[in-house]
Amino acid sequence: MAKSMESWAEGLPSEFQQRSLKEILRQEAAWVLGLTAVAIFILARWRADFGYWQYVVLVSWYVGLLLAGIAWRPLQWATVASVLPALGAVWLYAHGQTPANNVVLHYVLQGVAAALWMSALLLLSTGAYLVSVFTGSAAIGRWATRLTWAGVIFGFIGLGVRWRETYLGHASWGHIPVSNLWEVFVLFCATTPLFYLYYEQKAQNRSLGAFVMPLVAAAVGFLLWLTLAQHMDQVEPLIPALQSFWMKLHVPMMFVGYANFTIASLIGVAYLLRDWSVRRGGVLAARLPDAELMDDVMYRAIALGFLFFTVATILGAVWAARAWGGFWSWDPKETWALIVWLNYAGYLHARVVKGWRGRSMAWWSFLSLWVVSFCFLGVNMFLSGLHSYGKL
C-alpha cells in the first residue's frame, strides 16, 4: 500500500500536474463559470448593503474556492453537494416551512440535524479506518473514505443552514456560524476530515485515517456533549465584539490552520509507530506510507497551516484594534496563538534551513498537538480574558 516519493509525482491525478492557463480554463470551465455566476448573483442581490470590506470578504472567498477547486477537483463536487441541499433548506424556510412541520428539515437539513448526521458518519468512518488498517481490507478502506466524504458534506450543509437559521430569531442576530464552541466544533469536525482526504489522495494511502480520524471522533464526542448536555446548539445573538465582518475571514482561516496542524501531529504519531514497527517487524511497517512520504506530507500540512494561521492572526489583530482599541493586549488567547505561531515557525526553520528530518521532526509535530489543543480549547475552558465568550 505504501508509495515512495520517487513514484509520487507520476501517480498524481491530472489536477496536480502542470497545466497552462488555457488548459485550466478549458478543463475547469464549469467550476470557473459556476463560481463566477454565484459571485455575480451575490453582488447583484446584496451590493447595496456592501461596504468596502464586504467586497474584500467576497473576493477572498471567491479566489480561495476557485483556486482550491482547480487544484483539487473533488472539492468541486463536494462544494456542490453541500451547497445545493443547504439552499434547499433555505428555500423551505423562505416558504414558511420549519422543523416542526417539515420532516426533511427536522430530521435531515436543519443545522443541528445535519451536524448530528455528520457526527454519526464520521464515527462510522473512524471505525472503518481502524478495521481497514488492522485487517488490510481495501474494500473497507474505500468505504471509510466514502463515509468521511459524506460526513464532511453533511457538516458543511449544517453550517450553511445554520447561517440562515441565525436570522430566523431576529434579523439583527444573523452571523456566520463560528461564534461559540458548538459552531466552531462543527467547523473543526468538517474541516479536519476534508483536509485529511486531500492528504490521503496525495499519499494514495488510506491507513493514515486510522490515526487522524480517532481524534476527529473525540471532537465529535465533545460536540455531542455540547449538544445534548450543554444545549449550546441554540442560536443566540452575538455580543458586540463579534458583530464584525472580520469574523468571516479570521475564524475560518484560523481553523484551516488548526485542521492542518492536527493532521500533521497525527501523521507524526503514524511516523513514530511505523518506525517502531519496522524495528519490531510489526504489520504497520507494510501498511503505512514510506517514512519519507509521511515526513513530506507532515511538512506540507504544517506549511499550509502556518500560512493560514499567520494571516488569521494578523486579521485578528486588526479586528482587535477595531473592537477593543488595540492590536495586542496579551489576552490568553492571543498569547497562546503567539506560542503556537512561534512553535511552528521553529519547526519550519529547522526543516527548511537546518534540514532536519525524520524522527525528531515527527516528535516535534506530535508534541505540538498539545500546544494547539490548549490554544483551541483549553484557553476557552480554563482561562478568562477578552475571548471569554467562547467559555462553556
Separation CA 40–CA 42 (nearest Å): 5
Separation CA 223–CA 351 (nearest Å): 35
pLDDT confidence of residue 315: 87
pLDDT tens sequence across 197-216: 999 998 888 999 999 999 99
| Lookup result for grid cell 475560518 | 252
Torsion sign, CA atoms 240, 241, 244, 247: negative
C-alpha cell at 287: 501498511
pLDDT tens sequence across 18-47: 677 778 778 889 999 999 999 999 898 888
pLDDT confidence of residue 9: 38
pLDDT confidence of residue 323: 67
Mean pLDDT of 49-76: 88
pLDDT band at 385 (very low <50, low <70, confident <90, very high): low
Other CB atoms within 10 A of residue 380 CB: 22
Lowest mean pLDDT among 59-68, 123-132, 184-193, 275-284: 275-284
pLDDT confidence of residue 387: 54
Nearest partner of 114 among 96, 99, 95, judged by Cα = 99
- Please give the full DSSP string across 62-78, using - where no structure is assigned: HHHHHHHHHH-THHHHH
Q: Is 172 exposed, middle or buried (0-12, 13-18, 19+ CB in 10 A)?
A: exposed
pLDDT confidence of residue 2: 45
Helix ranges (H only) for the chain are: 5-11, 21-27, 29-46, 52-71, 74-94, 103-104, 111-135, 138-169, 181-203, 209-228, 247-280, 284-287, 291-324, 332-352, 359-373, 379-382
Lowest mean pLDDT among 65-74, 228-237, 275-284, 364-373: 275-284
Angle between helices 181-203 and 111-135 (to 10 degrees): 40
Are 368 and 344 in contact, with CB atoms under 8 Å apart? yes
Separation CA 308–CA 336 (nearest Å): 16
pLDDT confidence of residue 34: 93
Q: Is the pTM of this model over 0.75?
A: yes
Distance of CA 338 to the CA centre of its chain: 21
Q: Is the pLDDT of residue 52 over 50?
A: yes
Q: Is the pLDDT of residue 278 over 90?
A: no
Separation CA 119–CA 361 (nearest Å): 32
Percentage of the chain lying above the pLDDT 70 cut:
90
pLDDT tens sequence across 128-175: 999 999 898 999 999 999 999 999 999 999 999 999 999 887 777 788
Q: Give me the residue spans of the domains in the chain.
A: 11-71, 72-192, 239-392
Are 227 and 116 in contact, with CB atoms under 8 Å apart? yes
Are 347 and 360 in contact, with CB atoms under 8 Å apart? no
Separation CA 231–CA 112 (nearest Å): 11
pLDDT confidence of residue 180: 85
Separation CA 375–CA 169 (nearest Å): 32
Straight-line distance from the first to the last Cα atom of the chain, in angstroms, rounded to the nearest whole number: 43
Q: For the chain, how big is the Rg over CA atoms in Å?
A: 21
Instruction: Please give the C-alpha separations between residue 27 and each of 38, 67, 86, 249, in angstroms, as whole numbers.
Output: 19, 13, 27, 29
pLDDT confidence of residue 217: 97
